[in-house]
Amino acid sequence: MFRYFPTNYVWNLSVDLAIEMGARMGEIEEMCAPLQDAAKQPDAAGSKAFRETWAQMADKLCGLAEEDEAAGRLLSAGEKYNRAATYYLTCERLQAHGAAGREELYQRFLQTFARGIELSRENCERVEIPYEGKHISGLLVRAEGVDGPAPILVQVNGLDSTKEMKYRVGLPAWLAKRGVSSLIIDQPGTGEALRLHNLIARYDSEHWASRVVDWLETRSDVDAKRIGLEGVSLGGYYCPRAVAFEPRFACGVVWGANHDWRDVQKRRLEKEGSFPVPHYWAHVCWVWGAKDVDEFMTIAENVHLNGVLDRIKVPFLVTHGSKDSQIPLKWAERTYEQLVNSPKRELKIFTEREGGVQHSSFDNSINAGHYIADWIAETLGGRTA
């Protein structure tokens, strides 16, 4: 794990995620060098300082991109907008719920991300799936070299990630080369669903996952018999739960298991394990629609997979980092052990040899991500060569 800030795991996680999304080291240095003292400050003061330097870099890149556009250099502009969007999102993610200017920063991020995708001519289309009188937003990445309906992997967030983060890390592009499409969504409790539509998380993830399958079944470019589901971090709970209760999924993958998230919360109350974001308890209350920590802990009692996984009768891959600082390895082993009716179950622990040992492989995602992409291609009928 790259540790720019020796005493601040949450900030190191954010920096590493930005690198995985395509940040440049020179820009990382310029943004982070002034923050050494702020990294030791309380959440509110530190997060504000982090936002100032990262948003300043994003603003600068947008200005440079506008100059490129004026000169007709649209591909160069797109590349700068893409990195600017990553920097906007990285600092937005660290702000407290309700922090002044947070929603405006998020809207700026969405606009910048969309402009970067357009000018870069990337294989990525924004889609909206009707849900509860509102919609679930998604990014659709089409399989390459496939005539007719293609297999597709639906990809869902964890507690605090977004569809754009998952897109930028690279799994959708790796799958596209293997003949598998991707639909990365902001499910309730994450991204746009939470920030713009107040769609909070729910433990019965099949409720929204089934609506996504309904929508995919209407598309002529999707093979409805080959729809898989993948979840990262807390998605390591959402995904198995949804696959267990929605039999139309053809397979499942977790990138970072999360078998018993209620237990993780109890340990965090006792100061065990690392937090993924500042203002953690306020954040989880926002995500789950709880008025306080006591109500949140009551809600969290439902967030476990015991008594659920024997319903899964399709192939399932469980992956986990051997040095995960947030979720103990035992929960990956528990998920695997309970997949008793899966015809093709596998437990893959990423070690120092291949990298990706930290939580959901944020420290080094590429080898772990290619392993997952190959497994998906082999399972859904894509290609690996």
* Residue 231: burial class (beta carbons within 10 Å; 0-12, 13-18, 19+): buried
Token pair for residue 321?
């980092």
CA angle 116, 159, 33 (to 5 degrees): 60
| C-alpha neighbours within 13 Å on the C-beta side of residue 265 | 22
Question: Given 86, 119, 152, which residue is the final one in a domain?
Answer: 119
Position 42 pLDDT exceeds 80: no
Q: What is the reported pLDDT for 278?
A: 86
> Within this chain, do residues 160 and 69 fall inside the same structural domain, yes or no?
no
- Co-location of 73 and 145 in the same domain: no
Whole-structure pTM value: 0.96
> Does 296 reside within a domain?
no
Q: Is residue 45 part of a domain?
A: yes
Looking at the structure, do residues 36 and 142 belong to the same domain, yes or no? no
Q: In what order do the strands lie in the sheet with 125-131?
A: 125-131, 134-141, 181-185, 150-156, 222-232, 251-255, 316-321, 345-350
Question: Looking at the predicted structure, is the pLDDT value of residue 44 above 80?
Answer: no
Section 16-29 average pLDDT: 96
Last residue of a domain, one of 119, 144, 171: 119
207 assigned to some structural domain = yes
Q: How confident is the model at residue 374 (pLDDT cuts 50, 70, 90)?
A: very high
Write the pLDDT tens digit of every residue in 188-233. Answer: 999 999 999 999 999 999 999 999 999 999 999 999 999 999 999 9
**Are 153 and 376 in contact, with CB atoms under 8 Å apart?**
yes
Query: Is 246 a member of any domain?
Result: yes
Judgement on whether residues 112 and 158 belong to the same structural domain of the protein: no
End-to-end CA distance of the chain: 30
Distance CA 218, CA 72 (A): 39
Inside any domain, residue 366? yes
Distances (CA, A) of 97 to 186, 193, 230, 282, 291: 17, 14, 27, 7, 13
Same domain, 108 and 202: no
- Domain identity same for 14 and 72: yes
pLDDT in tens, 57-116: 999 999 999 999 999 999 999 999 999 999 999 999 999 999 999 999 999 999 999 999
Residue 14: which domain range?
9-119
| CATH label of the domain that carries residue 324 | 3.40.50.1820
Q: Which residue stretches of 21-73 are H helix? A: 25-32, 43-70
Q: How many domains does the chain have?
A: 2
What angle, 0 to 180 degrees and rounded to 10, lies between the N-to-C axes of helices 293-300 and 280-288? 60
The CATH number that applies at residue 102 is 1.20.1440.110
How confident is the model over 252-310, as pLDDT tens digits? 999 999 999 999 999 999 887 788 888 999 999 999 999 999 999 999 999 999 999 99
Q: Are both 103 and 185 inside the same structural domain?
A: no
Q: Tell whether 166 and 237 lie within a shared domain.
A: yes
How far lies 140's CA from each of 3, 164, 342, 353, 362, in Å?
33, 11, 28, 33, 22
pLDDT of residue 231: 98
- The answer on 341 and 211 residing in a single domain is yes
Looking at 99, 119, 139, the residue that finishes a domain is 119
Beta bridge partners of 304: 260
Identify each DSSP E strand in 134-221 by its residue range.
134-141, 150-156, 181-185
Residues 159 and 17 in one domain: no
Is 99 in the same domain as 232? no
